[in-house]
A and B are shown apart, each in its own frame.
Chain A
Amino acid sequence: MTAPLLQVKDLKVHFPVRTGGVVIGRYQALRAVDGVSFDLAPGETLGIVGESGCGKTTLGRAVLQLLPVTSGAVTWLGQEMTGLGAAAVKAAREHMQIVFQDPLASLDPRMTAGDIIAEPLRNYHPELSRAEVTRRVGELMEQVGLLPAMVNRYPHEFSGGQCQRIGIARAMILKPKLVICDEPVSALDVSVRAQVVNLLKDLQKTFGLAMLFISHDLAVVRHISDRVLVLYLGKAMELATRESLYQAPRHPYTRALMSAVPIPDPVKERAKPRIILAGDLPSPLDPPSGCVFRTRCPKATAVCAAKEPVRETSAHGHDVWCHHWRE
């Protein structure tokens, strides 16, 4: 196996949250990401899935050092990122870019499409001539399916799908090694979503990109990922190759999640068995003891409350954090 591009080890991101009264308040730690580890190889796509509040967005941002990391390590090409100075972080970010969920809100409304796409290039390579920047922008616009003639238009003149293409072009212009896609297709209409998913897959092949593909949509993640990490309440539940995870999910949470995804086929959808999760998501301010999923888990026993599950690896290299995954 090639050396990993990115190594995340026991990463924790806790936010201080003021609770209690107005006068006598106190600060509690909101455990958004609580001890997550994974490796990412060059050219690989890791899907990160989970429901709202599971910490998937925080995880993506912490990798980019866009948020203060509480503890743990993020190693980029052998270099430890946490605790680096601003200049060193900036230098590393040339090779790690991000695409956001809301296509219109993540573009500056007062900049033209061309300026938006060129901005990272001007930032990192001020030595490039104006003509060279224009040439590269035009080339990339074509690659992401935008007409280069639209270079002087403003974001509001584009549709949602086109805005997302601009966001993708901005992330690609530096030819990064890693792109973090945070729900890149969730805000798009069904017919446009497929176009953007295919575009990301094409770009990945062309540029040999690695991707962290963060999404709540298990069907899209299945389509695009090589491996998938399932998060719940800031903790990893299961990490496996796509085939292994979707064909034989081991963790009770992954199974429940998959059984809840509607299938666009009336016969299958009405016949499929469903695992119902009881109750609500617990508060990340006060997570359950032991396994965080135990309060809603159909398989929970006394050991789940007493002991936090550690990583266990199946014969197929399938990592599970569960006391009962063999059952």
Chain B
Amino acid sequence: MALLDVRNLTVRFDTPDGEVQAVSDLSFTMEKGECLGIVGESGSGKSQTFMAAMGLLADNGRATGDVLFGGANLLTAGEKQLNAIRGNKAAMVFQDHMTSLTPHMKVGRQMAEVLVRHRGLSAAAARDAAIAMLKRVQIPDPERRAAMYPHELSGGLRQRVMIAMSLLCHPELLIADEPTTALDVTVQALILDLIREVKEQDRTSVILITHDLGVVAGLADRVAVMYAGRIVELGDVAQIFAAPQHPYTQGLLACTPRLDDVGKVLKTISGQPPNLQRLPPGCAFAPRCPFKIAACAERPPLRPAAGGGLKACARDDIASINRAAS
């Protein structure tokens, strides 16, 4: 049985300008021990998919569909049941390391709280376990750091504290939402190493949400590319990067400046990211797609593609067109 099984997840928000559908009819499964990379630009629905799964949507948001995890449907579970799962079997690490920690609580105490609540440890035992976990994530001088407030730590250390906190109950699933976006590259490299270690040593399943293709390239086993609230391509990491099947994935790869080569002119994807309130009927990427045909007026389903992955694109001849062009 899959560790996580998302079926027909749709997330809507009521806004003053009308309803916005942030995630549309999304389905995927995830196996134990794997790392699934979720790639997309702002507004692609990559964060809201997992906020909905964890019952963390804003008040004006509603989710429909099924999110099956450990025998429970997270979308219909009550607050009590969710609280027993969140931070325990499934933990989340957020992008904003400053606002995601409680500012008026010492780091050690807010970490210990997790163990007291979920595992019923005594305060002293929880504190020791928290310090051990800080050591595990390679925070130097963990006893002293545990007695500090979040603002006394650097961004990299705060992100480490968040990861340490998320690992306290040895979760089966770690959801990392842009865990390194606010960090410098040298710090980012250390945090990614840490996530890799957690995945390999503890067999923790990891969902890595990011806009940075380089980050998923180093860590993910499979990659889902999202656009306008839908998965447009899903496949093995090697295949996604070596032979992307969807024009959007191809475009993203071509327009990412790379340190290891100097192309003369950077390729671009024309136009702007979509406005979710004014999506075209049919394929949402069609207005920006160089391969648009009449069939794109109808929304393409996610279907098997060459290379063993899935794609939501009406055409099958794009690879040969690209080969002829290059």
Contact = CB atoms under 8 A, between A and B. Distances in A.
The finding on whether chains A and B are genuine partners in a shared complex, rather than unrelated, reads: yes
A280 interface: yes
A198 B186 contact: no
A194 B269 contact: yes
Given A194-B266, A194-B267, A281-B154, A246 B237 contact: no
A264 B218 CA distance: 8
A300 interface: no
Contact of B214 (A223, A246, A269): A269
Quick one: which of B140, B238, B255 has the most chain A CB within 10 A?
B255
Contacts of B259: 218-219, 222, 246, 258, 261, 263
A80 to B, nearest CB: 35
A264 B258 contact: yes
B235 to A, nearest CB: 12
B186 A257 contact: yes
A260 B189 CA distance: 6
A284 interface: no
Contacts of B321: none
Nearest to B41: A189
Nearest to A277: B186
B243 to A, nearest CB: 12
Interface string B184-198: 111011101000000
A112 B103 CA distance: 40
B256 A256 contact: no
A51 B154 contact: no
Contact of B190 (A218, A276, A281): A276
Contacts of B253: 264
Nearest to A218: B259
Interface in B206-255: 211-215, 217-218, 237-238, 241, 251-253, 255
B260 interface: yes
A88 B26 CA distance: 61
Given A191-B252, A246-B259, A260-B189, A216 B211 contact: no
Contacts of B237: 266
Nearest to B265: A198
Contacts of A193: 255, 257
A77 B212 CA distance: 41
A191 B217 contact: no
Interface of A: 51-52, 159, 161-162, 189-195, 197-198, 201, 216-220, 222-223, 242, 246, 256-270, 274, 276-277, 279-281
- Give me the 9 closest cross-chain CB pairs, A-B, nearest first: A262-B214, A194-B255, A264-B213, A51-B184, A189-B41, A260-B189, A219-B257, A191-B269, A269-B218
Interface of B: 41-42, 140, 154-157, 184-186, 188-190, 192, 211-215, 217-218, 237-238, 241, 251-253, 255-260, 262-263, 265-270, 272-273, 288
Given A220-B257, A263-B258, A270-B217, 6 more contacts: A190-B211, A190-B252, A198-B266, A266-B217, A269-B217, A281-B154
24 contacts: A51-B185, A52-B155, A52-B184, A190-B213, A191-B255, A191-B268, A194-B257, A194-B269, A195-B270, A216-B185, A219-B256, A222-B259, A222-B262, A246-B262, A257-B185, A260-B186, A260-B188, A261-B214, A265-B217, A266-B238, A268-B260, A269-B217, A269-B218, A274-B189
